[in-house]
Amino acid sequence: MSKDDTAGCGTADYADLLANMEEINRHCCKLFEEMGQGKSELPPADPFNLTEAMMKLGLAMLADPGRLLETQAELMQDYARLWSQMAADWSGGEEKSETVSETGAADPVSPARKRDKRFRHEAWSENPLFDHLRRAYLLVAEHMEKSVIENSSSLSAKEAEKLRFFTRQFIDAMSPSNFLATNPEALEETIATRGENLVRGLKNILEDLCRGNIRQTDTEVFEVGVNVATTPGQVIFRNRLIELIQYQPTTDRVFRRPLLIIPPWINKYYILDLEPENSFIAWAVDRGYTVFVVSWVNPGAEMAETRFIDYMYEGIFAALEAIEKAIGEREVTALGYCIGGTLLAATMAFMAARNDDRIKAATMLVSQVDFSEPGDLGVFIDEQQLEALDRKMAARGYLDGSEMAGVFNLLRANDLIWSYVVNNYLLGRDPYPFSLLYWNQDSTRMPYAMHSFYLREMYLHNNLAKPGALVFDGVPIDLGKIKVPIYLQSAREDHISPCPSVFKAKRLYGGPVRFVVAGSGHIAGVINPPAAGKYYYLINDQEPDDFETWMATARKRPGSWWNDWHNWLFRRSGRKVPARVPGEGGLQALEPAPGSYVKIK
């Protein structure tokens, strides 16, 4: 390349940079305009009811000034060590160590924190400046969390849990990886593209503001019924709350007792039928089960007064009656996922009190019935927060799905919020097409009456776990009256239905319970087809009643829990009978699966 060519290239680069800066300025003006046109109503000054807990924490720190000074001194000493290491790196002196200090003391930053995937780019470890920035941030994060924990003794358990959670939120938000000036990968991209990544990032911000959430996947790639939720079947029943789908058999003979699946209505049912290779529904059909699935309607304001027990009557009971009309079979096995399992448990207790024995065995997937230790979700549940939420839901008639999704995203903020801030806004890239995240963003609304009851009676008061504390139409609800076999599945890394919380159901059901712990979390721990060869599951034939003992003595098996579940269920599903074709029994087919309700936005 000649000198003239080089000069021309530089001029072109500079022109491109100026053009991108002008475009950035234009998008910034548009962004400020959009933000200025936001809601006039100001949010509550303390939406999470943190003020009192923070004041108590501050008083606890001031009450022991000696300990406060000691904590500050420890931080300064650790900071001095990092500065010393940075100086050595810059001077080309001794090779830095991330495990042992000059005095032989252990590095204050824990090994687990150093493996933080936010800092995978090589510059975070190879560039002395960014390496120091990374390690200083991790060090301060550790000290902040430690200080909150050490000074929480004067707080209630609820207050301490809430402060720890929101301290983590603050720490995650302040990560240097989230800011252009302190993210080496974003700086490299800005230089390489002459600022075009920032133009794209601002466009993405504007689009997300209009949409109301951060885009986690390419939503244009997927379409319900086309490349997700594609297992063949027919809608055979519909009321105002559900469509009931019966799936096309793939075997000549099937188990006599059909399988009724009750998915959560917090999200749409097709998490169980994402794509052919990971569809739990298709896999169960291939094992010889006649599968029926409830597809819940996405409610609007017209359903504001729909109650929790309406989900029982118009959901589970309506489905049981429709199944009997469709195939002439009164007895079923049932499966409930998340809140669908909570509803199934309450319904089975109601049925047991009335000597209704149509459900002969039940599977509960990551489903809580004892909410005394609900994990991080508990920080959003107290009287003040629920009163504010009630006012909001009463005004609209429902809780918007984006608000529920926002809470779930906070439980894993680094994965579900900040990683997309970096990818979409700083790097200016489109998120990768991923069917699970497409489903995650296809959120649903919650009727006011139902959701208020659920949060208060389950999360706040834990009444489902107390025999007789809940009464449905004059029937006291007692889980101990459920005598049928239960398959209770949980997930080791579940942030929504924590494993120890799910385990508590073992002591509440009155019949035999097989408890299984899957690897991964609330979704991946459930949607794990055997062919994938991923994760693991734990079983314990001794079935001790203490969770820690159960975990310590459990046996680990590689892969999916699905085969273990099938081996448990087929023995409770009756003899084999000729396969039933949807629409050829007592109920006609209304329309092909996935139906209409699942497509309501």
Percent of the chain with pLDDT over 90: 68
> Do 159 and 245 lie in a common domain?
no
Residue-level pLDDT at 6: 38
> Do 582 and 500 lie in a common domain?
yes
Q: Is residue 565 part of a domain?
A: yes
Condensed to tens digits (0 to 9), the pLDDT of residues 383-432 reads 989 999 999 999 999 999 888 888 889 989 999 999 999 999 999 999 99
For residue 126, the tally of other CB atoms under 10 A from its CB is 11
pLDDT at residue 94 tops 80: no
Q: Is residue 267 part of a domain?
A: yes
Q: Is residue 436 part of a domain?
A: no
Q: Is residue 532 part of a domain?
A: yes
pLDDT at residue 248 tops 90: yes
pLDDT at residue 4 tops 50: no
Residue-level pLDDT at 100: 41
Residue-level pLDDT at 431: 92
> Do 259 and 341 lie in a common domain?
yes
Rounded to an integer, the average pLDDT of 232-251 is: 98
Say if CB 322 and CB 236 are below 8 A apart: yes
Residue-level pLDDT at 12: 60
Residue-level pLDDT at 105: 42
> Do 174 and 263 lie in a common domain?
no
User: Does the active-site annotation cover 210?
Assistant: no
> Do 157 and 287 lie in a common domain?
no
pLDDT band at 10 (very low <50, low <70, confident <90, very high): low
Q: In the structure encoding, which two tokens stand for residue 355, read together?
A: 């000597």
Q: Is residue 49 part of a domain?
A: no
How many domains does the structure of the chain reveal?
2
> Do 99 and 247 lie in a common domain?
no
| Burial (CB count within 10 angstroms: exposed 0-12, middle 13-18, buried 19+), residue 255 | buried
Q: Is residue 407 part of a domain?
A: no
Percent of the chain with pLDDT over 70: 88
Last residue of a domain, one of 135, 152, 178: 178
Please provide the distance, in angstroms rounded to a whole number, between the alpha carbons at the two ends of the chain. Answer: 56
> Do 161 and 246 lie in a common domain?
no
pLDDT at residue 465 tops 80: yes
Last residue of a domain, one of 144, 160, 178: 178
> Do 359 and 261 lie in a common domain?
yes
Lowest mean pLDDT across 70-79, 200-209, 370-379, 538-547: 70-79
> Do 592 and 478 lie in a common domain?
yes
Q: Is residue 552 part of a domain?
A: yes
pLDDT band at 80 (very low <50, low <70, confident <90, very high): confident
What ranges in 288-441 are assigned the alpha helix state H?
A: 308-311, 318-327, 339-353, 383-396, 401-411, 413, 419-420, 435-441
Residue-level pLDDT at 129: 87
pLDDT at residue 211 tops 90: no
Active-site hit among 9, 210, 338, 499: 338
Per the structure, the complete domain to which residue 249 belongs is given by 233-375+463-599
pTM of the predicted structure, to 2 decimals: 0.89
Q: In the structure encoding, which two tokens stand for residue 506, read together?
A: 């073992």
pLDDT at residue 11 tops 80: no
pLDDT at residue 8 tops 60: no
> Do 265 and 171 lie in a common domain?
no
Please count the CA atoms within 13 angstroms of the CA of 229 that sit on its side-chain side: 23
Residue 501: give its domain's CATH number: 3.40.50.1820
Q: Is residue 87 part of a domain?
A: yes
